[in-house]
């Protein structure tokens, strides 16, 4: 443990807060009594039990998402000390060392804010639908054992299967732009969602969906619709929109070889496009 931590009685946590979608944001500071072995989720739970901020003013609990608390679900992703990461595995002692004794929490920058640290990540899941990131099944009958897969193929696919759709790679990507359509006064939620999806349709889908397309293209059964995934990757906002900044692989909490997946996707789409020319 850092020797200076033994002398620390408390520390400050700055949270970028927002009451509701579309409303202005504001910073609020909370003073937390220091304890050993805290993570950011523990800090947020302490804030939830407080009725006041560091200035002694009455306030409301900070809203945030979490689920598994063991870096598996990806729900607790937020920007901590300027870096997108999981709050369940972000340890307070390390954070205080890297940020001058203070912790700064912000919502992810590339998704619409619902409240405080909670964002709407629907766009990311819709991108998985675009690339058909699943193994197609026609029915639910027992068809016995599936096709055999070589050890080499398993070793390639397994790291890609660890993706928890946390969104870190998207939040860090300079080509992945925030798309937030403001609702019209008289439109229904369905109409607003339709406009939101239309606005997203030509924007870069990001590294995670590309990597998942490569995961299922290599699957013995998933390969049956490999061309459909490649068509999606060749559409506007697909593989051609990647600027190869490589921020995605630098921030991925699972160390997934995202840039390798992007390279494979580029190669597969190129080969597929050439074949289409000669198959006419």
What's the pLDDT at 5?
52
CA 70, CA 170: separation in Å to the nearest integer? 21
Q: Are residues 148 and 252 in the same domain?
A: yes
What's the pLDDT at 172?
96
Q: Are residues 128 and 91 in the same domain?
A: no
Domain span holding position 227 = 121-278
What's the pLDDT at 260?
96
What's the pLDDT at 142?
83
Q: What's the count of helices (H) and strands (E) in the chain, helices before strands?
A: 10, 7
Asked if 259 and 248 count as a contact pair (C-beta separation under 8 A), the reply is yes
Q: pTM for this one? A: 0.90
Last residue of a domain, which of 66, 93, 115? Answer: 115
Tell me how many domains the chain contains.
Answer: 2
What's the pLDDT at 227?
96
CA angle 229, 232, 233 (to 5 degrees): 90
What's the pLDDT at 2?
54
Q: What is the CATH number of the domain that holds 44?
A: 3.10.20.30
Question: With the CA atoms of 120, 125, 127 and 128 taken in that order, what torsion angle do they form, in degrees rounded to the nearest 10?
Answer: 170
Q: Are residues 268 and 166 in the same domain?
A: yes
Q: Are residues 36 and 126 in the same domain?
A: no
pLDDT in tens, the chain (280 residues): 455 555 789 999 999 999 998 899 999 999 999 999 999 999 999 999 998 999 999 999 999 999 999 999 999 999 999 999 999 999 999 999 888 789 999 999 999 999 999 999 999 999 999 999 999 887 788 878 888 888 999 999 999 999 999 999 999 999 999 998 888 888 998 998 899 999 998 999 999 999 999 999 999 989 999 999 999 999 999 999 999 999 999 999 999 999 999 999 999 999 999 999 988 7
What's the pLDDT at 74?
93
Tell me the two tokens of residue 118. Answer: 């909670």
Polymer length in residues for the chain: 280
What's the pLDDT at 259?
96
Strands 102-106 and 118-119: unpaired
What's the pLDDT at 136?
87
Last residue of a domain, which of 115, 137, 167? Answer: 115
CA 78, CA 121: separation in Å to the nearest integer? 12
What's the pLDDT at 101?
81
Q: Are residues 103 and 125 in the same domain?
A: no
């Amino acid at each position: 443990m850092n020797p200076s931590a033994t002398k620390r009685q408390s520390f400050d946590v700055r949270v970028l807060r927002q009451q509701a979608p579309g409303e202005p944001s504001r910073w609020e500071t909370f003073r937390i009594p220091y304890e050993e072995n805290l993570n950011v989720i523990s800090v947020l739970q302490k804030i939830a039990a407080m009725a006041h901020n560091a200035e002694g003013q009455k306030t409301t609990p900070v809203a945030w998402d979490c689920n598994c608390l063991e870096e598996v679900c990806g729900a607790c992703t937020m920007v901590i000390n300027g870096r997108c990461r999981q709050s369940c595995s972000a340890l307070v002692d390390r954070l205080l060392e890297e940020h001058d004794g203070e912790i700064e929490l912000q919502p992810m920058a590339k998704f619409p804010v619902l409240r405080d640290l909670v964002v709407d990540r629907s766009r990311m899941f819709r991108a998985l639908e675009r690339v058909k990131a699943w193994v197609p099944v026609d029915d639910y009958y027992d068809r016995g054992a599936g096709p055999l897969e070589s050890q080499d193929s398993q070793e390639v696919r397994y790291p890609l299967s660890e993706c928890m759709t946390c969104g870190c790679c998207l939040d860090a990507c300079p080509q992945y732009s925030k798309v937030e359509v403001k609702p019209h006064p008289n439109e229904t939620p369905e109409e607003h969602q339709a406009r939101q999806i239309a606005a997203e349709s030509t924007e870069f889908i990001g590294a995670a969906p590309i990597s998942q397309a490569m995961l299922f293209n290599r699957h013995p059964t998933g390969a049956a619709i490999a061309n459909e995934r490649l068509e999606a990757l060749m559409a506007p906002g697909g593989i051609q929109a990647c600027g190869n900044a490589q921020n995605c692989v630098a921030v991925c909490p699972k160390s997934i070889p995202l840039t390798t997946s992007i390279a494979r996707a580029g190669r597969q789409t190129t080969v597929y496009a050439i074949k289409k020319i000669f198959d006419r």
